[in-house]
Amino acid sequence: MNAPMPLVLPALSDTRRVELLHQVERKLLWLSAWMIHNANHIRPNRDGLKVGGHQASCASCISILTALYFEVLRPQDRVAVKPHAGPVFHAANYLFGRQSREQMEGLRQFGGAQSYPSRVKDGGEVDFSTGSVGLGVAITSFASLIADYVRLHGLGRPDIAPGRHIAIAGDAELDEGNIYEALLEGWKHDVRNVWWIIDYNRQSLDSVVPDRLFGRIEGLFRDMGWNVVTIKYGRLLEAAFLRPGGEELRRWIDDCPNSLYSALTFQGGAAWRAALLTDLGRDDGVRAILDPMSDDELSALMTNLGGHDIETVIEQLRAADAAGDQPTCFIAYTIKGMGLPFAGHKDNHAGLMTREQMEIFRDKMHIRPGHEWDPLEGLDASEAELRHFLDSVPFARKLTPEGRSLVAAEVAIPEALPQPKVAGRKVSTQAGFGDMLAEIGRGQGELREMASRIVTMSPDVTVSTNLGPWVNRRGVFDRHTRNDVFRDAKLASAQRWGMTPEGQHIELGIAEQNLFLLLGAAGLAAPLHGTRLLPVGTVYDPFVNRGLDALIYACYQDARFLLVSTPSGVTLAPEGGQHQSVNTPLIGMAADRLASYEPSHVDELAILLRHAFWHMQQPNGSAVWLRLSTRQLEQPQRRLDPAAVIAGGHWVVEPQPGARIALAYQGPVAPEALAAFAELRAEAPEAGLLALTSPDRLHAGWLAAGRARRGGERLATCHVERLLTSLAPGAALVTILDGHPAAHAWLGAVRGQRVVPLGPDRFGQSGDLLDIYRAYGLDTDAILDACAQALLG
């Protein structure tokens, strides 16, 4: 698998091939800079807002991307490109004929190429979206784990060879803590075939990064079992180092602070000469190197860093390729803005070339006005030769006839999932979930196929979120078989944790970002591997916040999975403190591509769990979130309308037409609502009792109906409108949930009814449930007070 790639097609000599790679470099530098220039200075600007773009960030990784895309990558490799190099990536695809000129011209425009590579918006050529720095890098490690999982479970497509997962990272991405969480987790799972290529331009957004930082970082990588390859110097410098005085020159560069190096780069040849002569002018060897050079030549020598020397980059990538599957970090020294007028300037991150600078650059690139987008313009190659070269590039081969974004057959989900026998028992939704998953884990009958596709994961809360019985049935995944020592020693334990490549649970350390990155990677199994996984992740509800950016990132890529967060709210009363969650229902409402639910009872949960496994496979479906609780509730015996539960709410007691009041509850506060309702009915016999399973779905449906009506569909309506019609126009709606009451407050706007929303807007107090519900206004008295206030108007 890792054998070096044959270098050439017969007709192209090695030398010519390298020349053509240099031509491609020029082209990518030009096109990326021009795309951004066009968007900012040529295209009409309708709103006066800065369009932006990052010419300097693009310039620093031109050679790295050229080496990868035009020489080293194979179609089966999957890549995360650093966000600010989006235009370079688009330009590379343009040369391959996989990106249109129209999209390039429309960079950062509605419908045009996105500012940062986006799976959903830019289409199938993008393997991983990037934007929130650090996450695109880290997901490659988890994606590699999932690739192994798919392969070891025999689910991979036989026509696709195993590939490598590669990130091209900005050096400042390594400031993000999620990188180190991912490294540690990757080490535990013995992740293979991951490359992180760091564009080490020693600049972030604000400034030049501290010296010696990378010495530390290099050590960290090695400690985590990575190979580290430093690509520091290009061949010009290496040749100079071999001459008399060369060692002195090398030492001077090695000792040069990052900020000085950047400043000298910006200033150019004369400044280099002055600085070098001040320190090394008495060394005859050094003088013999420097003196014959023009300022431009000297500048070219001093900026000949490894990451700009395509032959060096290719050589190092190939060597790592041949060395095997060890995860490898390449530290490629570069200059931010290389080849552009603001090269090395510390403020260049968002710098844009002026019109005048662009004219000079255009001349330098031999581009005639009006020919800016021509692929051949300014190149020293015929169309036939360039085409021949591009056709010979390994990455030019199509991964599959359908392209890079794969499709997978749907896994059949039985009409109804087995429901635990709960009648007469007090059961929590969390325990109900655990029981149902354990039953699915038996894999009997029509559950067999579905069970084989479920992969669970949890950041050290597997047992405490009730995944234990499922794991006992299906085992823990590991690339290597590892025995359960406790079991072998016949020590009693409820958990059987033997690890095998067939296991279906991936155990993670406590790092919620890792959970969401892994869910994201597993949730992309269909487009990346052409097979379906049904990923399920469990986490404590408050700690969704801890991984929130990675959760949003997974949804942004349209990854499909089920998130189960439990326990939640202030209902885990004595546990108290920061384990209580208040804001999560609002997160569920505001998250795009994530359908969020909170059932009260196990019969609702059974409907929603089934729905989740189905919905995550639908073309216009999404990921699903179930917020659960450990509070044990009496389970009703009733017949539910699944469509209503899925749409977000159902009447437990229908209100009489024109009712003045209704009570609505969500989640584990159902008993308080039921008790209050019994008393309320003495006052208002027509009152209704509404079970809310998803303010998120109700709200989404309501927004959609409003948009449809404004768009001319006058009869468009939605579930929440239908639910609330039977109440009087000015009726009162007292709502209650164990979460921020704003999640329900909007219900009054649906039909102009008056909402009194109850729910904690503070948290952190320990106590038993009675005290806590009283303190936060969730007990029956509080509900009745709210009803009285509401009835009084």
Ligand X SMILES: Cc1ncc(C[n+]2csc(CCOP(=O)(O)OP(=O)(O)O)c2C)c(N)n1
Q: Select the span of 53-61, 422-430, 494-502, 726-734 touching ligand X (CB under 6 A).
A: 53-61
State yes or no: residue 170 binds ligand X (CB under 6 A).
yes
Selected binder of ligand X within 100, 109, 204, 656 (CB under 6 A): 204
Q: Tell the smallest beta-carbon distance from residue 581 to ligand X (Å).
A: 23
Residue 482 is given by DSSP the state B
How is 445-463 classified by DSSP, letter by letter? GGGHHHHHHEEEEEES-TG
Q: Select the span of 165-173, 182-190, 352-360, 641-649 touching ligand X (CB under 6 A).
A: 165-173
Q: In this structure, which amino acid lies at residue 27?
A: K
Q: Tell the smallest beta-carbon distance from residue 211 to Mg ion (Å).
A: 14
State yes or no: residue 84 binds ligand X (CB under 6 A).
yes
Q: Tell the smallest beta-carbon distance from residue 53 to Mg ion (Å).
A: 16
Q: Select the span of 40-48, 196-204, 425-433, 781-789 touching ligand X (CB under 6 A).
A: 196-204
Distance CA 90, CA 69 (A): 11
Q: Tell the smallest beta-carbon distance from residue 405 to ligand X (Å).
A: 25
State yes or no: residue 546 binds ligand X (CB under 6 A).
no
Place of tokens 């003196």: 291
Distance CA 512, CA 236 (A): 46
Q: Tell the smallest beta-carbon distance from residue 115 to ligand X (Å).
A: 10
Selected binder of Mg ion within 93, 129, 140, 203 (CB under 5 A): 203
Q: In this structure, which amino acid lies at residue 112?
A: G
State yes or no: residue 148 binds Mg ion (CB under 5 A).
no
Q: Tell the smallest beta-carbon distance from residue 260 to ligand X (Å).
A: 18
Q: In this structure, which amino acid lies at residue 59?
A: A
State yes or no: residue 344 binds Mg ion (CB under 5 A).
no
Q: Tell the smallest beta-carbon distance from residue 170 to Mg ion (Å).
A: 4
State yes or no: residue 304 binds ligand X (CB under 6 A).
no
Question: Residue 777 — left, alpha, or beta (φ > 0 → left; ψ -120 to 50 → alpha)?
Answer: left
Q: Select the span of 179-187, 198-206, 309-317, 391-399 touching ligand X (CB under 6 A).
A: 198-206
Residue whose C-beta lies closest to ligand X: 170
Q: Tell the smallest beta-carbon distance from residue 132 to ligand X (Å).
A: 4
Three-state SS sequence of 200-251:
ECCECCCCECCCCHHHHHHHHHHHCCCEEEEECECHHHHHHHCCCCHHHHHH
Residues 6+ apart with CB under 8 A from 590: none
Selected binder of ligand X within 173, 558, 686, 738 (CB under 6 A): 173
Q: Tell the smallest beta-carbon distance from residue 342 to Mg ion (Å).
A: 14
96 and 390 in contact (C-beta within 8 Å)?
yes
Strand, coil or helix: 115: coil
Residues 6+ apart with CB under 8 A from 310: 18, 21, 22, 25, 63, 66, 67
State yes or no: residue 171 binds ligand X (CB under 6 A).
yes
Count of residues making up the chain: 793
Selected binder of ligand X within 66, 76, 203, 753 (CB under 6 A): 203
Q: What six digits make up the tokens of 349?
A: 């991150």
If we measure between CA atoms, which residue out of 661, 446, 431, 461 comes closest to residue 542?
A: 461
Distance CA 713, CA 705 (A): 9
Interface characters, 346-365, with ligand X (x: CB under 6 A)? ---x----------------
Alpha helices in 153-212 (DSSP H): 177-188
Q: Tell the smallest beta-carbon distance from residue 60 to Mg ion (Å).
A: 7
State yes or no: residue 144 binds Mg ion (CB under 5 A).
no
Selected binder of ligand X within 57, 141, 580, 600 (CB under 6 A): 57
Residues 6+ apart with CB under 8 A from 776: 570, 759, 760, 762, 765
Could you tell which of Mg ion, ligand X, none binds residue 205, using a CB distance below 5 to 8 A set by kind? ligand X
Torsion angle (degrees, nearest 10) of CA 48, 51, 52, 58: -150
Could you tell which of ligand X, Mg ion, none binds residue 173, using a CB distance below 5 to 8 A set by kind? ligand X
CA atoms in the 13 A half-sphere facing the CB of 522: 27
Selected binder of Mg ion within 83, 156, 170, 503 (CB under 5 A): 170
Distance CA 793, CA 785 (A): 12
Q: Tell the smallest beta-carbon distance from residue 169 to ligand X (Å).
A: 7
Could you tell which of Mg ion, ligand X, none binds residue 99, using a CB distance below 5 to 8 A set by kind? none
Q: Select the span of 67-75, 199-207, 423-431, 492-500 touching ligand X (CB under 6 A).
A: 199-207
Interface with ligand X (CB under 6 A), residue total: 18
CB atoms near residue 653 (< 10 Å): 15
Distance CA 474, CA 151 (A): 17
- Residues from 182 through 201 that contact Mg ion (CB under 5 A): 201
Q: Tell the smallest beta-carbon distance from residue 174 to ligand X (Å).
A: 8
Selected binder of ligand X within 25, 125, 127, 199 (CB under 6 A): 199
If we measure between CA atoms, which residue out of 386, 529, 406, 311 comes closest to residue 96?
A: 386
State yes or no: residue 171 binds Mg ion (CB under 5 A).
yes
Residue 137 or 670: the one with the smaller Cβ distance to ligand X is 137
Binding site for ligand X (CB under 6 A): 54, 57, 60, 82, 84, 132-133, 170-173, 199, 201, 203-205, 336, 349
Q: By CB under 5 A, name the binding residues for Mg ion.
A: 170-172, 201, 203
